[in-house]
Structure 1
Amino acid sequence: MEWASFLYENGPFHSGLEGFFDIDESDKDDVNNDSDGNDDETIQSESDIEDEPSLDDGERSGDVENTKKRPHDGGTEPVGKKKNKKTKTLDPKLYKPPTVKELNQLRETENLFNSNLFRLQLSDQGWLQSMNVKMPMKQRPFGVKGSFQFIKPSAVLIVGSFDSNCCVGPDVCVDLAVEMPQQCFQQSDHLNERYLRKRALYLCHLAGTLQSCHLVQSASFRLCQGDPSRPVLEVRPAGKLCKRVVVALRPVPQSGVFKLARFSPEKNNVRPSWFFTNSDAIEEPYPPTPHHNHSTIQDLVPTANQEYCRRALEGHSNIKDGIRLLKVWLTQRKLNKVHTILVYGYGSFGGHIVAQLVSHLVLQKRISMLGSSYQVVRATWVYLAQSDWTNFGVSLAEPSSGTPPVSEFHQHFEVVLVDSTGYCNLCANMSKETYERVKREADLAVRCLDNPNINSFQVLFMTSVPFYRQYDHIVRVSHLSRLETDQIRQLDHTNHTLPLAQVPILATLREGLGRRVTAIAVSLEDTPHWSISIEPPASADSLTVGLTLDPVHAFINIDKGPTANTEETGSNVPVKCKMNRHDGVPQAEKFRDFWGPKSELRRFPDSSICEAVVWGVTTLADKRMVCGQVVEYLLSSRLGLKVTYVADQYETLIKHSKVKPADFEYGTGEEATLAVLSVFNELSKQVRELNDLPLEIISVQGTSPVFRYTDTFPPLATQSRAGKKVTKDGPTCILLNDTSAIGMAPRWIPVIEAVIQLALSKKWPNDLEAVRRIKAAFHIEVAKCLSQQCGLTAQPHPNFVDILKSGFVFRLRLAYPREVGLLKKHVTPHGVTTYVDTDDLHQEHPSYGPACCLSKRWLAAQMIDPHHFPEIVVELLVAWLYLCPEPHEPPTQPQTAFFRFLHLLASTNWVTQPVILNFNTELTREEVVEIESTFQSSRSTLPPLFLATSYQPSGVVWTKRNPTLQVLVRTAMLAKESLTIVEEKLFSRSFDTKVIFRPPLDVYDVLIYLRPLLNPRRLEAVDVNKDQPVVNLPSYQYQKGEKLPVAGFNPVQCYLQELRETYGEFALFFHDPYGGEVVGVLWIPAAMEVLDFKVSRINSRRLVGKGPKIEPNIDTIMENFFILGTGLVRSVETNNSKLEAK
């Protein structure tokens, strides 16, 4: 390969080029690094490593170019050989005494730093500036012993997925292991980051030289697997390959330089006296540094692990295909970030782990070499789902290889998968939460494969699963550096903030949340990437955690602790309680220590006295945020961290900010819905018990969205009285004033629709008009009976009867027995009787109702009202997210379901994707296949959105007229833009959640502005006037002779209906039904064409020229828009922004 030969034969190194990161000789008192004994064999005295020999005159000057060359191309002596010291006479032409400036500098250094080495160590990296390269790792502390000289690589090897032909696009990454020769190292380079810093400087010289090479387009640094101590150099080759190929250079020591046993988990390779200013707290024997050891040993094993994979994969393209599919699966779930072996995020389940695991399963004959890629993938998922690497780790090494036992790794790492050498834990940086997440995803993948009702390939490999859509609650923890950690862990992780903070944070969340969550996951952030000429970015100072809530336990507002007796010790706190058998500490005391002042002693209904923590809740929306209270208290109050909690920000859009009921806290509408259902149940019982009716009433079924928990703003009960200007009293109802100039619309009072079902009878006539007359007479009788027998105010109409009960207006319609079907009914505006069954879905998944409300609210805010996108269609699409949630689990938080709804609109190709809702699994597999076959064979005659249910398998009832293809395309574009904004701004404290609920108006041809006071739903607007006072609704009190209020009257909707009936052939009308103050008009292109003259076409058209041609009269139509809305319309304007765009 040209790259390998260039580095090896014509590399950036030449004899005599020297660069020292420290000008000291090797540590004389360190024991040979080949020793695999204990730490006391490695170094005789801590003071020995601090006291280095003095520098010779030539070195003291700091002039590298004038320094005399040393043997072996100017490098240090090979390991194990002693240097023969000879007395030499200095040539006065080459050496001269230090100048006055140099003497002052040395004296200043000695005075300031109490050392004559520190300043020289700083100045000794000056050669980096001449190359315009910055050191790619933080050097804290800066001072480190040893000398180093750049020597050309002893070998350049291709490793990783490119070598094994397991690369996954779109970019191809070629991983090159650049061997640093043995002469670059000294005996104690395993100590105190000496190897890691030599490695980084070696990389710097590579970067500085390659940036001027004709083969290189660009060069940059990136962290290897997110480890700040292990940068790699990414090079883009010149030419056409630069867009698709990346070469990753990774310095590794030559084979034999270090013994693997030196880096086993039990070893200490970071001395406290070097790392800490005051290390008195840590005494010998020094604690092990397993994570620091892992940073080094990863560079010692790539060749061995590559050979291990080669044994299993060579000649088996089917297995390699399986590995590629697994990598794609991991990438779609954000379990790894980049396709190359070198730059996966910190703690990720990278592709190198997949390759090693599959190779292990092949060599163990758990995967057949002759099996297909599907069998490889399935076998791997089954193995992962059943594995337990947190308690029973796996080693790929031979059992008799004399390597450390797996139990030794378990003492230091949460997850254990030991590589083929037996010394490197491939999952050393992986948290338990990430591993459990992989297991859950593997189990879900197997279930997807076994589910015949979904396209498993699409779900598993083609669908992206970003973190914010995957979990119910998201926690962003900032200022991790503020968290105090013990010195032992600081010594192990040196300068890496993320793992230092991640372990205690996750442990705190595990204990604090307990049964409230079924999963805790860590977001694997992208690895930093920066130019070679700038300083490396600071370590990540934030951590993002996802929570999957347990719907059974997540909403409980009391954490009940251990029981306690009344025995006390010097205070009022009972201490005699159940003991923890592991540590002997009373559980009650541990509970109090953990929760702090939040813990209190309480007596429960079962007479037990326990420690408990109580979280304040008043609404169901508050209950959904109990976990948020727990997390914010533990992390912010107890640990002092900055917490950004993402869970319910968008739920404010379905809260009544300007209307306050008297009897309950409104929340997100669930309490109002429950109040309606409670009153309706009473009314239903009264209606069924009515006497003196010709036929018995056997059921009363609600049909309004409120009965399905999906009404965005449920009705609110209140007292209704006639006013002076707008309304007046009638015999049984409050009526509108006769005046034509009403300055304000009456308060919005929605009607609640329900259907009366009668007992069967053979006396019903067959004539349609006769049936209508019988229905009208029956409505009169029902109203009369309710008034006489129940004392309710009722007003009959030919098609329905209105009833006032407990401040709500119910509208009952009589259903002809032949029209009655199964259980739930919904009568469409076109008179088609159809059936839905989503209230049971809300009972199973309480987030379904608020999720529907949010989805409807968003569509309405985009001015796509129910005329264009029927409410029942929105409800069924959201239901589909719960019935077929793959590749997710069903959401527990409404906001998460809302995000998934936006993704459904933005990414689904409705031309090829049918929506089949199998409520209660009533459809058999054969019936589902038949529906899919019908969809494929008759696609051209079916509506754009094919939506079939177990009650209406035809798929055309719900969407026969709307939404149209144009509306679906528009919603897809708006949803995609909304998701982009959410992804970019979700964690910003200044993020305005209403941004995605503000519609773009520049797409409309004409804008009709309405008078706000004539819009009865103006208080529901997204941007309601802040100066608008809050309406405090009085509590309902029954009064004898109360009258029906003006219900269901909305002038805006009446105006829209008239516009659509009159000018529907010329234009489409868009409006936000929840308080929108503007109507958008979009001309239909086909209607704007010039047509032949016909009498039937003359309406709103004018003659063109002398010929018998006509065209739409736009000016007249716009004038009629204003005339039709006289009093309601403020102005009608042409959208100039659209004209300018054209």
Structure 2
Amino acid sequence: MGVKDQTGQLSGSKHARNADEEMQDASFSEDVTEVHSDLRTKRPKSGHKAEVLEDLTLSKLSAFDLKVNELLKEVVVSGKRVAKALSFVNSLKKTIRKISEVREAPFWDAKKKLEHDYKLIIPFPQPLPPTDTNIKLSYKPPVSVEVSGLFGQDQACVSPDGWSIDLLIEIPGDLFTDKDYLNLRYFHKRAYYLAKIAGKVTKSLKDSCEISFTFLNDDTRKPILEIVPKDQTGSAKKHYRVRLLPYVNERFRIQKLLPHKNGIRTVESTEDHSLLPTPKYNYSILEDTSLGYYAKCVKEVASSPYFVNACALGNVWLNQHDFSSSVHECGFGFHEWCSLLAILMSSKDISAGFSLSSYLPAVQLFKGTLMFLASKELENSILQTNGSIDTSHFSSKPTFFDGRTGLNLFHKVNPVFFQKLQSAARHTLRLTGAADADAFDSVFLTKVNSPIMLYDVYGYIPVQLSVEEGDVTKDSDSAFTNYLDDIYQLLKRGLGDRIDFLTVFSATQMKWGLKDLWYTALPKEISIGILLNPDVSIRVIDIGPSAENEAEAAAFREFWGELSELRKFKDGTIAECVYWDCPTPEDRRRIPQRIIQKVLSRHIASTVGDCVRFVHDGFSDVLGRTALVNSTDTFHEFVPVLNAYHEAVKTVMTLEDMPLAIADVVPADEALRYSSSRIPGAETYATSPVNVVFNFESSARWPDDLESIQKTKIAFLLKMAEVLNAEENVERAMVGLENNDKPKFNNCFLQVMFTNGFTFNFRLRHDRELTLWDLRLKRRENVQEAKTGKFAYEHDFQFIPRHTLAIQAVCQKYRSCSKAIRLAKHWFYSHLLTDHVSDEIIELLAASVYVNLNSWQVPSSGETAFCRMLYFLSTWDWRFEPLIVDVNENMTADQRNEIRHAMDQHRKNDVSLSHAAFFVAVEYDLESKYLGWLTPSKVIANRITMLAKASFQLLTSTTPDLKLLFQPSLTSYHCIIRLRTSKLPIFREKAKLEYKNLQMLVSNRPGFDPVKSFVEELMRIYSDVAYFFYNKNGPRLIACVFDPRVLEPRPFKISLDYPFVVQKSGNVTLDIDLVMEEIRRLGGDMIKSVERV
């Protein structure tokens, strides 16, 4: 949509983002009018005490709590929708209870008959028993068929894909023997029992539902049946599925299934007594046998009015972090959350620090659960509840052992995902505990685990394995799980200390038809996510063991193969090592990716390593790199210009024969704060002079008149130029003029071109000027000029230097911030928004990702920070919310309140948003006076939001083409002015990079930018008629949008100040063809063509 279409959208929206819009951001879109749940659930039956506690809580509701209440209305389902689903579930119960008994028969005979009768394939786990097995299969009606968890209270929690009803089917215990916990016998009988139910249910439901097998928590030993009615349309709240979960209730002795016991016996292991523990296998059985117990616990605690809401909040939080019960992901999902919360609220032997009262509000129960997850005790100790047991042989952590069921509630959570789970819990508590932060959106509405915004390196690895009938997977549930573990171990070893975090997972749910084999549903690829260690991630050499350590050296050579070589280092050490040859900076930037590909090619298959896809690689071609520094960190690419700056400062500070000594020199340019989109260097100096502000020591001989001060400045700068021209390291120094039509404004600067190829513009600050502008305002002398003059002085001589030092400090603290800013500027420029958004605002937008407390922790890569910035722009309601950037990370609550008050007052006084559409505030500009007062306009701000939404949608697509992020759409404009690049200095400078004989040419006009001057002239002439857009980094064209008001026919007036054409009706409209011809004439040889779109 073009800029011309934005005004109506903005003016037509009178309210802040309401609950519907917030839910759309969280993928829970539905009209509030359709919500049937009510937050005000019944009070507990505990009498007056509970009522008093609730009244006290309601009287102290914060803004956070009020937003939570609105969220709960969207994510808790009850009423008519639950009643409809319950009716369907009751019909399923009747069907299941009517299934007739099947007499006991040998395994293979029973299998053959059932598959023949119902035309399905029983989802037996692998391996199957031998043909001569004595296992018998049979079917008896279930002991009970009951709904599980919260649905027992006629409520359910909504996820982005709908909500689930778990129907627990208890298998009669006499179908199993005491030894059936061994060698998959329980799981084989369970699969047969499920297949019998599936066959009967399929016949009963016919074509009214989609019926398929899937796995409980992606454990291939435990298939379940999923039923989805076909008559469901609309939002997630209207979509439900029913899952049939067969289980046996506490049939096997817990002592036989403790984690140090073995449950998979083979002839070989029995003979040599090498019975290794099988904790995963054992816990898989215990998880089944405890389903009924935890369902009962949840039902009992769910009588509390706040338990369901706390579970709903937990469900939202888990979904936003992509935490699930899957063994291939986190291993901690909604079921575990509800069970854990039920234990914390009901168990008598939980330590006082973690025990939760049923009278606590939902938010406090939510925080209490997070506190338990984030606790050091869970990280370092083995916790128990409901009795005690000898845990000396327990080695895995985290462990929260329930003596009643023998189950470790965290048995599916491996150490890597536990680190991620704890980190998320701790960060969320930090957000909710920060008094100055608006935590609600960050905690509940932001999709935190979007890979493009979470990881520094994110990619996909193809799956290459075969699942055969006879595969023995030992403790693991399948060869696929083994594949994930192998990939993780290989990459962990190969990447070493280059990474801070590595995860290998599959987010694909395996689902297949009743007539298909289960392993046809295996994912085709798996995902990897990496957080880099910025200090060593691009190290070019990995040093291995010493040659004297033969065993370790041999293992090193075996791992790395032909990449390993023996080297002698400067300290005399001889060691095995791997050297990564990096002919180009891009090769070095990709060292982690190259390691991944090499390791997988060597240890898995070359077809796997060669086919790895990395999402972030699309950014590699975005930033044009110079040949100045062979580094992949753009922070270091600014070293030459900073060295040149220090040389320039030293030169001017030591000048002699000057009337006054220079007291101070401060940087005032984007190049000196590591944030210019083009790196200033010897090859690009002609279009990139660097701005510097300086002042002389105080003197009483300065004139006391603004115009006289400007003339005195010229005299001083002429003297400096004369002295500097005699310096050996100065190529040329001269005085430049500006603001010629404003004699009271600063109208001169000293341009110094040094022999190192860098050019600096020195502007002289005199503090008396500000006092004189204030006096003019006080005396009401030409108030408008005084306001403009004071603003210009404060902006150029106070704000810009302070901003430069602030951003410089942020980039020095967070090295990747420089690249994030450069990517952000490239994005704004590429969409032709040059000069419509100030560089300072862009820099603060990118820096806010690092210094502000938000949904994520501080990023390690510029690409990740850039993606987060786009997400912020796509969701920021700038009409009502200020962007407060705490650049020094010490902003007080009073300052934040002052900023919000300033914005409220400004919005009241400027309802049309003619100024400060983006209200961006920092410590040195609390009122957004210098940052966004003029740009972006209301129309441009709206367009930025739409561009950011489209860009973020592209980023989160399955196969994003990142180059499209930086390609502008020209269909929204009325005409396009194409330029002759051969006439533009910026392209001539690029030619110097290609031809060495041109590199030493010196431009006579450093800083000359004809395109910028041309656009400024067009804006001056057609300010009431058109808007102009261009990309200052690659100005191949200028796009034009005409004001919709001048395109509409209107009566002729003699005061019309634009060319018009008379319509048949006698009304007049803008003469676009004549305007285009005028533009062509003004541009002269610089214009290639002017085209209407």
TM-score by length of 2: 0.79
| Change in CA separation of 1:211 and 1:12 when aligned onto 2, cut-off 3 Å | farther
Q: What is the Cα deviation at residue 946 of structure 1? A: 0.5
Q: What root-mean-square deviation, in Å, do the aligned CA atoms of Structure 1 and Structure 2 show?
A: 3.9
Which residue in 2 is equivalent to 1:870?
A: 838
Which residue in 2 is equivalent to 1:699?
A: 664
Q: 1:250 aligns with which of 241, 244, 252?
A: 244
Which residue in 2 is equivalent to 1:424?
A: 407
Which digits, 9 at most, give the CA deviation of each residue in 1:33-65, with x for residues without a partner? xxxxxxxxxxxxxxxxxxxxxxxxxxxxxxxxx
Which residue in 2 is equivalent to 1:229?
A: 221
Q: What is the Cα deviation at residue 350 of structure 1? A: 0.9
SS of corresponding position for 2:924: coil
Residue type matched to 1:913 in 2? E
TM-score by length of 1: 0.76
| Change in CA separation of 1:936 and 1:213 when aligned onto 2, cut-off 3 Å | farther
Alignment partner of 1:803 is 2:786: no
Q: What is the Cα deviation at residue 1054 of structure 1? A: 2.8
Q: What is the Cα deviation at residue 535 of structure 1? A: 4.6
The worse-fitting range, judged by mean Cα deviation, of 912-921 and 685-694 is 912-921
| Change in CA separation of 1:787 and 1:1054 when aligned onto 2, cut-off 3 Å | same
Q: Distance in 2 between matches of 1:651 and 1:882?
A: 20
Which digits, 9 at most, give the CA deviation of each residue in 1:544-603, with x for residues without a partner? 2322234445455555556x5xxxxxxxx3139xxxxxxxxx767766666566556666
Which residue in 2 is equivalent to 1:459?
A: 442
Tell me if structure 2 keeps the 8 A contact 1:345–1:527: no
Percent identity between matched residues is 23
Q: Distance in 2 between matches of 1:21 and 1:1105?
A: 94
- Describe how 1:155-304 pairs up with structure 2 within 5 A: 155-163=144-152, 167-170=156-159, 171-182=162-173, 184-185=175-176, 189-211=180-202, 213=204, 216-237=208-229, 244-255=238-249, 257-272=251-266, 284-304=273-293
Q: Distance in 1 between matches of 2:315 and 2:645?
A: 54
SS of corresponding position for 2:932: coil
Q: Distance in 2 between matches of 1:961 and 1:598?
A: 58
Q: What is the Cα deviation at residue 164 of structure 1? A: 6.1
Q: What is the Cα deviation at residue 996 of structure 1? A: 1.8
The worse-fitting range, judged by mean Cα deviation, of 1081-1090 and 415-424 is 415-424
Q: What is the Cα deviation at residue 967 of structure 1? A: 1.9
Alignment partner of 1:1059 is 2:1059: no
The worse-fitting range, judged by mean Cα deviation, of 591-600 and 704-713 is 591-600
Q: 2:994 aligns with which of 986, 1011, 1031?
A: 1031
SS of corresponding position for 2:811: helix
Which residue in 2 is equivalent to 1:1113?
A: 1071
Q: Distance in 1 between matches of 2:1013 and 2:233?
A: 63
Q: What is the Cα deviation at residue 1068 of structure 1? A: 1.6
Q: What is the Cα deviation at residue 846 of structure 1? A: 0.7
Tell me if structure 2 keeps the 8 A contact 1:322–1:373: yes
Q: What is the Cα deviation at residue 302 of structure 1? A: 0.7
Q: Distance in 2 between matches of 1:240 and 1:477?
A: 33
SS of corresponding position for 1:161: helix
Q: Distance in 1 between matches of 2:220 and 2:533?
A: 36
Which residue in 1 is equivalent to 2:376?
A: 387
Residue type matched to 2:936 in 1? P
Alignment partner of 1:1014 is 2:983: yes
Q: What is the Cα deviation at residue 813 of structure 1? A: 1.9
Q: What is the Cα deviation at residue 945 of structure 1? A: 0.9
Greater helix fraction, Structure 1 or Structure 2: 2
- Describe how 1:687-1086 pairs up with structure 2 within 5 A: 687-718=652-683, 749-790=687-728, 792=730, 793-798=732-737, 799-805=748-754, 806-818=756-768, 833-835=798-800, 836=803, 837-865=806-834, 867-921=835-889, 923-940=891-908, 941=910, 943-986=916-959, 992-1018=961-987, 1031-1033=994-996, 1045-1086=1004-1045
Tell me if structure 2 keeps the 8 A contact 1:518–1:548: yes
- Describe how 1:302-701 pairs up with structure 2 within 5 A: 302-311=291-300, 313-336=301-324, 346-362=329-345, 363=347, 364=350, 365=352, 366-369=354-357, 370-387=359-376, 389=378, 392-399=381-388, 405-410=390-395, 413=396, 415-476=398-459, 478-481=461-464, 490-498=473-481, 500-523=482-505, 525-532=507-514, 534-536=516-518, 537-540=520-523, 542-554=525-537, 556-559=539-542, 573-575=547-549, 613-616=578-581, 625-638=590-603, 640=605, 641-642=608-609, 644=612, 646=614, 649-656=617-624, 661=627, 664-665=629-630, 669-701=634-666
Q: What is the Cα deviation at residue 856 of structure 1? A: 0.8
Q: What is the Cα deviation at residue 352 of structure 1? A: 2.0
Q: What is the Cα deviation at residue 1084 of structure 1? A: 1.5
Alignment partner of 1:6 is 2:73: no
Q: Distance in 2 between matches of 1:164 and 1:481?
A: 45
Q: Distance in 1 between matches of 2:951 and 2:855?
A: 21
- Describe how 1:44-55 pairs up with structure 2 within 5 A: none
Q: 2:117 aligns with which of 104, 113, 127?
A: 127
Gaps of 5+ in 1: 26-120, 274-278, 565-572, 577-585, 720-746, 1022-1027, 1136-1142
Q: Distance in 2 between matches of 1:1019 and 1:297?
A: 73
Gaps of 5+ in 2: 1-85, 738-747, 772-789
SS of corresponding position for 1:920: coil
Tell me if structure 1 keeps the 8 A contact 2:150–2:302: no
Q: What is the Cα deviation at residue 1075 of structure 1? A: 1.6
Q: What is the Cα deviation at residue 296 of structure 1? A: 3.1
Tell me if structure 2 keeps the 8 A contact 1:327–1:351: yes
The structure whose Rg is larger is 1
Residue type matched to 2:709 in 1? V
SS of corresponding position for 2:407: coil
Q: Distance in 1 between matches of 2:1090 and 2:548?
A: 75
Which digits, 9 at most, give the CA deviation of each residue in 1:457-493, with x for residues without a partner? 22112221124245442343624545999x9982222
SS of corresponding position for 2:548: coil
Tell me if structure 2 keeps the 8 A contact 1:234–1:249: yes
| Change in CA separation of 1:1089 and 1:256 when aligned onto 2, cut-off 3 Å | closer
Residue type matched to 2:935 in 1? N
Residue type matched to 2:723 in 1? C
Q: Distance in 2 between matches of 1:505 and 1:693?
A: 69
Q: What is the Cα deviation at residue 245 of structure 1? A: 4.5
Residue type matched to 2:658 in 1? L
Q: How many residues align?
A: 951
Q: What is the Cα deviation at residue 717 of structure 1? A: 0.8
Q: What is the Cα deviation at residue 1063 of structure 1? A: 1.7
Which digits, 9 at most, give the CA deviation of each residue in 1:309-364, with x for residues without a partner? 445x243223443333222222211122xxxx7x7864431122222322333322
Which residue in 2 is equivalent to 1:74?
A: none
Q: Distance in 2 between matches of 1:685 and 1:614?
A: 41
Which residue in 2 is equivalent to 1:1130?
A: 1088
Q: What is the Cα deviation at residue 222 of structure 1? A: 2.9
Tell me if structure 1 keeps the 8 A contact 2:450–2:956: no
The worse-fitting range, judged by mean Cα deviation, of 528-537 and 977-986 is 528-537
Residue type matched to 2:311 in 1? I
Which residue in 2 is equivalent to 1:67?
A: none
Which digits, 9 at most, give the CA deviation of each residue in 1:1032-1089, with x for residues without a partner? 557988xxxx965332233332332222222232122222222242322222212323
Which digits, 9 at most, give the CA deviation of each residue in 1:165-204, with x for residues without a partner? 7742253322111223356556764444343344334434
Residue type matched to 2:767 in 1? P
Q: What is the Cα deviation at residue 284 of structure 1? A: 4.8
Residue type matched to 1:493 in 2? S
Q: Distance in 2 between matches of 1:332 and 1:1020?
A: 47
Q: Distance in 2 between matches of 1:514 and 1:826?
A: 54
Tell me if structure 1 keeps the 8 A contact 2:431–2:853: no
SS of corresponding position for 2:752: strand
Which residue in 2 is equivalent to 1:77?
A: none
Tell me if structure 2 keeps the 8 A contact 1:12–1:206: no
